[in-house]
Amino acid sequence: MRLSALVCAMLCLFTTTKSAYAQQLADLQHIAIVIDLSKETERVGLTKQSVTDTVLVGLKRGAPKLKIDSTPPVSVFYVKITSVVDGTASFVAVDVVRPGEIAGDKGSNVYSGSVPVWHRGSLLTGSTDTLASQIRESINDAVAAFAAQYHKDNP
């Protein structure tokens, strides 16, 4: 049976795309938690400590083998929450950033830096009464998605 060129090309593209993003959290053993809240986010009832606690509990539950510390070189579980002034909308960005090396365009120079390897983002809207709980739920969902990817990459 012959495969059409289109089917073959699609299979090759899918295989390449999958392998390009595979193992993004492989060999991750230590992670620090960094929280960045806007002043407007604090007005809806969240603090750095309450968000840190939410992330810490989720990571301990979802990825118990992952050590939470800030011993360099360390990867970072970064949560940034930006809210509008009237507290009716927020953007929650959750990233995992790892130390990495990037080859220069000509391949001769290698640059060290932080490399984002995993991301989730949510735009939330609602009243100031419900936004804090929506933000916590969004963070919990992101931590669960991270834990699932972590276990896939670290069987």
Asked if residue 13 is part of any domain, the answer here is: no
Share of the chain above pLDDT 70, in %: 85
- For the segment 70-91, the average pLDDT, to the nearest whole number, is 88
State the Rg of the chain over Cα: 19
pLDDT at 150 over 70: yes
pLDDT of residue 101: 82
- For the segment 87-107, the average pLDDT, to the nearest whole number, is 87
Residue range 50-77, pLDDT digits in tens: 999 999 999 999 999 999 987 777 899 9
Query: What is the distance between the alpha carbons of residues 31 and 33, in angstroms, rounded to a whole number?
Result: 7
**Residue 81: other Cβ atoms inside 10 A:** 25
- 8 HSE (CA, 13 A, CB side): 5
Q: Which two tokens stand for residue 52?
A: 């840190």
pLDDT at 8 over 50: no
pLDDT higher at 80 or 23: 80
pLDDT of residue 75: 93
Asked if residue 2 is part of any domain, the answer here is: no
pLDDT of residue 43: 87
Domain extent at residue 31 = 27-153
Q: Show the beta-strand stretches assigned E in 5-154.
A: 30-37, 67-68, 75-83, 89-103, 110-125
Asked if residue 15 is part of any domain, the answer here is: no
Asked if residue 35 is part of any domain, the answer here is: yes
pLDDT at 22 over 70: no
pLDDT of residue 104: 79
- For the segment 8-31, the average pLDDT, to the nearest whole number, is 58
Computed over every residue of the chain, the mean pLDDT equals 84
Asked if residue 57 is part of any domain, the answer here is: yes
Asked if residue 10 is part of any domain, the answer here is: no
Residue range 134-146, pLDDT digits in tens: 999 999 999 999 9
Asked if residue 16 is part of any domain, the answer here is: no
Give the largest Cα separation in the chain, rounded.
Answer: 64
Asked if residue 149 is part of any domain, the answer here is: yes
The DSSP annotation for 43-59 comes to HTT--HHHHHHHHHHHH
Type of residue found at 76:
V
Overall number of domains in the chain: 1
Q: Which residues pair with 67 in a beta bridge?
A: 30
Query: What is the distance between the alpha carbons of residues 104 and 20, in angstroms, rounded to a whole number?
Result: 19
Share of the chain above pLDDT 90, in %: 58
pLDDT of residue 87: 74
Sign of CA dihedral 33, 37, 41, 45: positive
